Homo-oligomer: A and B are copies of this chain.
Amino acid sequence: MSGHASIESCRDRHNEPVRTIDWRGDHIELIDQTRLPGEVVMLRIETVDALVDAIKRLAVRGAPALGVAGALGMAMAALTGDTVQAVRQAESLRAARPTAVNLSWGVDRARARLGEGPDAVLAEALEILEADVRVNHTLGSRGARWLLDALGKQAVNVQTHCNTGALACVEWGTALGVIRALHQDGALGRVYVNETRPLLQGAKLTAWELAQDGIEHTLVVDSAGPSVVARGMVDAVIVGADRIAANRDVINKVGTYPLALAAARAGIPFVVAAPESTIDPATPEGSAVEIEIRDPAEVLGTDTPAATTALNLAFDVTPADLVTAIVTEDRVLTTR
């Protein structure tokens, strides 16, 4: 691995895989994803303010992990014993990032137990944490099985975008959970990974996770993803979701929509893997979602002319008619 952080440094003393985010008695421990793939650094988070900061700078990211972070943050706030302050902190947690529904879902679920005392809030948060692990394994297996059945194939090559792996959740992953399940079943050829500008979650996080697991993978620039599909190099596109509207429009990392357009034109499945908590009945359709616009500095180079501005859209909307299937822990919704 030529000096890269290895899987060994990512296991605890009982040889269990280290979780992306976990509860340690009175504080949160999480992997600082801004330091990967160069090094695995664990962050000790002891206050809600520190958690909000970690969420904003993407030290922890990925819709399911954000749900867990929101709930654990709420528990941390409740354990201080100051309920008024805890309610105020819930709002700052919910506002840390606007697009993924899971963050506010996690905060709200834990906050609902505030009247029963801090221990109840913590119990709820820990249940969300453990459920995420179960949910990911279940949806990964279901997605793998569905895909092989739908394609009538023994093995498949797939394309994915951004990071939807263990690092986006507590363990295992959503879209990458499906890919891991295919690999476990000996049904995976090669994975094409978009680098995912501007923050390169594909190149930095997904490539790292796939390398750890010994899964063959090839990186392409984001704009080449549709070409990989058009050239017949993959059998399906599998992505995660930050929010799924009631009409099944999918809001996910910017760059998802062009892959869906390409998959539809090529006639291959475009599969979205996400927990049920990502489906938001309160969002009628994609256009109703506030798309996070991040700092232009993430896009602009140091030598970009002063007159140049940047629009840093973090997510895009894939209309429901381009989505072949949505796989959750409970079901497969086929919409194309």
Contact = CB atoms under 8 A, between A and B. Distances in A.
Contact of A211 (B1, B200, B258, B307): B307
Interface string A187-214: 0000010111110100110011011001
B218 A316 contact: no
Nearest to A197: B221
B1 A316 contact: no
A262 B258 contact: yes
A238 to B, nearest CB: 17
Nearest to A190: B309
Given A4-B305, A303-B37, A305-B211, A313 B200 contact: no
Contacts of A313: 220, 224, 227-228
A335 interface: no
- On chain A, which size bracket covers the interface? 35 or more
Given A204-B301, A254-B227, A304-B203, A220 B310 contact: yes
A195 B312 CA distance: 12
Interface in A288-314: 299-301, 303-313
A217 B304 CA distance: 12
A223 B310 contact: no
Given A37-B304, A219-B311, 16 more contacts: A1-B305, A4-B303, A195-B299, A197-B223, A203-B304, A204-B303, A211-B305, A219-B308, A219-B310, A220-B310, A221-B222, A222-B223, A222-B255, A226-B261, A257-B262, A258-B261
